[in-house]
Chains A and B, each alone.
Chain A
Amino acid sequence: MVRLQIALGVIITVVGLIVVAWIALNEDANLARRDQEILARRIERGAVLFEQNCYTCHGFNAQGVPGLGPPLNDREMLEQRAKEVGWPGSLYTYLVRTIAAGRIVSTRPEYLGGKASDPNAMAMPPWSEEYGGPLRPADIEDIALFLQNFEEFPPELLAEIATPVPEEGEQPPEQGEADVDAVAIDLFTQLGCLGCHALATVPGAVGTVGPALDGLGERAASIIADPAYTGNATTPEEYIRESIVDPSVFVVAGYPDVMPKGFGDQLSEEQLDALVQFLMKQ
């Protein structure tokens, strides 16, 4: 038994050493692969966090919201910005710092931060829990990794991901009332209206910066009739349109005049109509 166990033990030891040697030979490649995987999964996580926290001001695709937050979906442009503000470190540290601490003063007055009418308002809130925000250091790093991953789509990929053209003979569906509503809800979400205005029919619309829009259709008439009203609208539809296109003409008492001014240029006539119709029904 003693000899048998010694012999078997030696064989097993040799097997063990071979396994360890095999691990050792592959270790560097495996470390590099896991490093890449961890980075990729952090980018995925950063994207989820971005869609949860940043879309109200920077848009769902980080394409920016006029008058609210600048576009972030271009790495070259971000690098350019870091240079412009004289940031001495890498793009990554620029992003991490900006997200963590926010911006007290906007560097570009055309965005919400510029808020010429309210110079005391903060341009971008701090997001790090260290400065009173909701996110932890790792969250902010993940968002920065995600933003850094924005590059231009190469042409061959663009062709691949283009929306398929409907086949011949297929008629585009008629736009019913429900579709107009869907367009309006999409706009309401994508433009970031829901960041400031509460509205029961739109999920996620719980903002408190601007007045709640529930029952706006009925309320509009009484607003116009009020002697305090300073705008030019004569019908509720006109009032709603005016509030979107030229919000400073009349600001509901108790709210700051901070609504972005550029929607008139940004929206097509159909889009504006859809929004007005939709809000009238609220």
Chain B
Amino acid sequence: MLGLQDLRNLPRDFERKVRELLNQDLEEVVRERLDNRVRTITAGLDLEELRAIFRGDGPTEKPNPRWKVHTTSFLFHIRPRYYQRASTWFTHTFRLGWLSTYLFFIELITGIILMVYYAPTPNTAYRDMLNILSNVRFGLLMRDLHRLGAELMVIAVFLHMVRVYFTGSYKKPREFTWLTGVVLLGITLFLSFSGYLLPWDQLAYWAVTIGTSMADKTPLIGREVNLLLRGAPDIGAGGLLRFYLLHVLFLPLLAILFISVHYYKVSREHGISLPAVVEEGEMDEDRRRWAKERIDFIPDLLTHELFLSVLVLVAMVIAVTVWFDAPLESQANPQVTPLDTKAPWYFLWLQGMLKLGDPTLMGVILPGIIVAFLAAIPYIDNNPSRLAKNRPVALSLGVLGIIVLIILSYMGTPQWGIETPPAVRIIQDLVPQEGVGPFRKLGYEKIKLGTFETDTFTLPENPDEFDILFAEFQERVRNAPLASPQGVWEIDMLQPTLKRVKMRITWTKLDENGNVLLDEQGQPVRDKYEKVFFVHEDSGYEYE
């Protein structure tokens, strides 16, 4: 208990305490406290050490405190303490594995933000897209980043695989790492593809309809697989929800699992492969020793990775600000099949193959064999050497494979092998079903009122953009493979802010032998294609 005596002693105790404090070296106390705090945060590095790291100097204490971080910190324990110099050469790895992982994290973060503003039902999904674009601050930025990141990730993962193939890094003892890599390529493609449906626009709906109908062609269990994916014979509320769950839950978890396994093999078991020339090539022994020297992760590689992270992220932000836009077409409509349906670009090769033959063979069996072959490459290729000069067959097969992939992808584009009737093509090129096209691009103000006919139109002396566009239309109609074709644009106003445009192409109908078909009165029968659409004052097509 506090007695009277204690109270009497209070001033003296206080005085003693002050004297103690005054006698201390305050600077040292602060430095020590700060050091402790910094060590806690950096998992063992003190201030002096941090400064040495930033200066690029060696460690200030022994044992090396920078290695200690790799045991005390969870995040750093995942990373190796050091790499062999040659395995970090930029031209050996191009940092593609790192880039794939980094993009995966960008996708996670932007994806979680987008999830806040999105509900996966047919009646709300598309509305939510419009809301993200017009009502959520930075919504467009997040959506564009998410989309760009997805496309870049497909590219990065693919190039990563190509690099590993050409440097022969899949060979013993890294066969299993390669296998998990092939699985990750598949997961990446399906992650991207499952996200395709979520905006619920025409692009999404039809690309996924085509994609899942391919599953339908699987022998024996095709119908079941298709039903499982779509949730019904056609994609609807059930299918959207299933794709959503695949995209935000199942596939990311699977990806995290396989990335972990893949990276564990790389970082803990075999390390990044050395360039073949260092491992087995002819090389000056001193240089080889230098190439195999250890480089600490902290600070050299850590700063390098931070630098790359900033570089990639800022480059992406600039790209979406300047030119990259995530596409958004009109709302999904099962009743309207778009004219130019196409698969996402990374599945164009599959669409190209489908044009070549039986869908079961070309869409399921052959791709299945290709994937199985990819996975089995390290087990098939028993050539122990990784040097390019010792692998002529493997390298030429690789180059051949890439060329075939490019040709198949080109064949998968809608222009190849699919004929659109000429009148439909001409008008579709001017005013596409989706997107802007050259006519709308003129903008509301420049679209003239009146009737314009290809038979009577002549280009005025000082033609404006509208006249030039009509002259091009005139030229195309005249040259179309149709009998006495005639094109008309009728443009009037329906509302004070709304212009109505009727585009029409008529031509004489021919029978199979090329003879003119006549009606009962002996007049030639005319066929026609017409498209009616509207342009509103505020629709802003001219700015796109």
- The answer on a CB contact under 8 Å between B495 and A9 is no
- The answer on a CB contact under 8 Å between A2 and B303 is yes
Q: How many A-B pairs with Cβ below 8 Å?
A: 123
- The answer on a CB contact under 8 Å between B321 and A16 is no
A209 → chain B closest CB, angstroms: 23
Q: Could you say which of A19, A31, A47, A150 contacts B321, with CB atoms under 8 Å apart?
A: A19
CA distance A13 to B313 in the complex (A): 9
- The answer on a CB contact under 8 Å between A8 and B534 is no
Selecting from A151-159, A235-243, A263-271, the interface stretch reads A151-159
- The answer on a CB contact under 8 Å between B310 and A137 is no
Q: Could you say which of A15, A16, A20, A34 contacts B134, with CB atoms under 8 Å apart?
A: A34
Q: For chain A, which range describes its interface: under 10, 10 to 19, 20 to 34, or 35 or more residues? A: 35 or more
Q: Assess whether B330 is interfacial by the CB under 8 Å rule.
A: yes
Starting from the known contacts A5-B304, A35-B135, A153-B493, 15 additional A-B residue pairs (CB-CB under 8 Å) come to A19-B321, A22-B321, A23-B321, A27-B137, A30-B140, A31-B135, A40-B536, A43-B498, A47-B498, A48-B533, A136-B123, A138-B123, A149-B536, A151-B496, A152-B496
A-B CB contact pairs (8 Å), 9 listed: A5-B303, A16-B313, A16-B317, A34-B134, A38-B130, A38-B133, A44-B533, A44-B534, A153-B496
- The answer on a CB contact under 8 Å between A149 and B495 is yes
- The answer on a CB contact under 8 Å between A5 and B307 is yes
Q: Assess whether B170 is interfacial by the CB under 8 Å rule.
A: no
The chain B residue sitting closest to A37, CB to CB, is: B540
CB 8 Å contact bits of B295-330 with A (1 = contact, 0 = none)? 000011001101100110110011001000000001
Q: For chain B, which range describes its interface: under 10, 10 to 19, 20 to 34, or 35 or more residues? A: 35 or more
The chain A residue sitting closest to B306, CB to CB, is: A9
The chain B residue sitting closest to A75, CB to CB, is: B495
B-side contacts of A157, CB under 8 Å: 493, 496
- The answer on a CB contact under 8 Å between A31 and B496 is no
Q: Could you say which of A5, A138, A150, A160 contacts B331, with CB atoms under 8 Å apart?
A: A138
- The answer on a CB contact under 8 Å between A47 and B539 is no
CA distance A3 to B53 in the complex (A): 9
A67 → chain B closest CB, angstroms: 23
B-side contacts of A8, CB under 8 Å: 307
B507 → chain A closest CB, angstroms: 15
Q: Assess whether B366 is interfacial by the CB under 8 Å rule.
A: no
CA distance A27 to B141 in the complex (A): 10
CA distance A35 to B300 in the complex (A): 48
B503 → chain A closest CB, angstroms: 13
CB 8 Å contact bits of A157-180 with B (1 = contact, 0 = none)? 100110010000000000000000
Q: Assess whether B429 is interfacial by the CB under 8 Å rule.
A: no
- The answer on a CB contact under 8 Å between A16 and B310 is yes
Q: Assess whether A45 is interfacial by the CB under 8 Å rule.
A: yes
A-side contacts of B123, CB under 8 Å: 136-138
- The answer on a CB contact under 8 Å between A2 and B310 is no
A-side contacts of B399, CB under 8 Å: none
- The answer on a CB contact under 8 Å between A31 and B134 is yes
- The answer on a CB contact under 8 Å between B317 and A2 is no
Q: Assess whether B33 is interfacial by the CB under 8 Å rule.
A: no
A-side contacts of B53, CB under 8 Å: 2
The chain B residue sitting closest to A20, CB to CB, is: B317
Q: Assess whether B172 is interfacial by the CB under 8 Å rule.
A: no
B-side contacts of A37, CB under 8 Å: 538-540
A75 → chain B closest CB, angstroms: 10
CA distance A152 to B496 in the complex (A): 7
